[in-house]
Amino acid sequence: SRIPSSTVGREIALVNFRKWAIHGYDGIPSVQNNSTVLNLLLLSMAWDSFKDNLLRPRIRSTSRPTASSQSKYETPSLGEIQHSLWAYKPCSGNVNEVWPNLYIGDLYIAQDREQLRQMGITHIVNAAAGRFHINTGAKYYKDLPIDYYGVEADDDPNFNLSIYFHPAARYIRAALNSPKVLVHCAMGISRSATLVLAFLMICENMTLVDALQTVREHRGVCPNSGFLNQLRELDIRLVKERGGGGGWRNALKL
């Protein structure tokens, strides 16, 4: 049976509200009811990390890289990254393949065992694990040939997700030997995306810019500001360890 709504009702309501706010989601039958809309608005306002992921203004073109900027990679500032991420890109459904055999998805795909079976998912990383988030766990998938890895993370800029970067990256890298891997959270935008970005940076030798561009070609992810700062710190450290880095790829045109 599906997970009781009491454990994920808040996450579901927020997912539905964001879909409606962006493109008139018809999954809220009473959306024209003022009290329903008000309740959803209040709920979204109460969750600080969620409001950072609402529809953003469209990006203005960034300047093209100069010859000097292409000669050596520099980790962009938080403001530069956020400015580039403000270009609205829809999530394109509940799940997307963002790297060969590596998928980012939301809570709906994580709970749809039949679709997971059809997709051939063999490993799941739940970036929103825990009783008060997406409380699936290994037992939820006991009837499927799925290995489960849970990360109890909050979509909060103050949450230290970086402590999971290397363990999750190692797990994903090993799991891709017998694909396929789904990394999910509530909306497939912030927590799960951050772990996938860290994997690409750690295991695929990408810079943060390249990782963001790679993922956003397939899914409109937007990690919160705290997670972006943690990814920047990882980027700075990896670039230093690797002795520099490549040029700016497409000048942060994400």
Position 59 in a domain: no
So what's the pLDDT on residue 53? 41
- Give the 3-state secondary structure of residue 60: coil
- Catalytic residue, chosen from 91, 185, 203, 222, is 185
pLDDT tens string 19-38? 444 444 344 443 444 444 44
Residues 142 and 205 in one domain: yes
So what's the pLDDT on residue 15? 53
So what's the pLDDT on residue 97? 97
Residues 91 and 14 in one domain: no
Residues 102 and 22 in one domain: no
Residues 182 and 239 in one domain: yes
DSSP assignment of 188-213:
SSSHHHHHHHHHHHHHS---HHHHHH
Residues 85 and 14 in one domain: no
d(CA 44, CA 57): 18
Position 62 in a domain: no
So what's the pLDDT on residue 141? 97
Q: Running DSSP on this structure, what letter comes out for residue 38?
A: H
Residues 41 and 136 in one domain: no
So what's the pLDDT on residue 8? 53
- C-beta of residue 81 within 8 angstroms of C-beta of residue 74: no
Instruction: Tell me the pLDDT band of 6, cut-offs 50, 70 and 90.
Output: very low
Q: For residues 180-184, give the mean pLDDT.
A: 98
Q: Is the pLDDT of residue 66 over 50?
A: no
CA distances from 80 to 20, 209, 229, 254 (A): 28, 11, 12, 11
Position 61 in a domain: no
Residues 38 and 91 in one domain: no
Instruction: Locate 237 and state its tokens.
Output: 């450290």
- C-beta of residue 234 within 8 angstroms of C-beta of residue 194: no
So what's the pLDDT on residue 132? 79
Instruction: Tell me the pLDDT band of 87, cut-offs 50, 70 and 90.
Output: confident
d(CA 173, CA 192): 15
Q: Can you tell me which residue has the tokens 């980790």?
A: 75
So what's the pLDDT on residue 62? 33
Instruction: Tell me the pLDDT band of 106, cut-offs 50, 70 and 90.
Output: very high
CA angle 225, 226, 229 (to 5 degrees): 85
Radius of gyration of the chain (CA): 18
CATH number at residue 138: 3.90.190.10
Q: For residues 123-128, give the mean pLDDT.
A: 98
Q: Can you tell me which residue has the tokens 């710190």?
A: 233
- The structural domain count of the chain equals 2
- Which helix (H) or strand (E) segment is 169 a member of? helix 165-175
Q: What angle do helix axes 78-85 and 208-216 make, rounded to 10 degrees? A: 10
Residues 174 and 121 in one domain: yes
CA 240 to chain centroid: 25
Position 60 in a domain: no
Q: What is the mean pLDDT of the chain?
A: 79
Q: Is the pLDDT of residue 159 over 50?
A: yes
91 is catalytic: no
Instruction: Tell me the pLDDT band of 193, cut-offs 50, 70 and 90.
Output: very high
- Give the 3-state secondary structure of residue 8: helix
Q: For residues 85-93, give the mean pLDDT.
A: 74
So what's the pLDDT on residue 173? 98
d(CA 109, CA 129): 15
Residues spanned by the domain of 146 = 67-252
Q: For residues 206-235, give the mean pLDDT.
A: 97
So what's the pLDDT on residue 91? 64
- C-beta of residue 17 within 8 angstroms of C-beta of residue 44: yes
On the 0-12 / 13-18 / 19+ scale of CB atoms within 10 A, 129 is buried
- Give the 3-state secondary structure of residue 99: strand
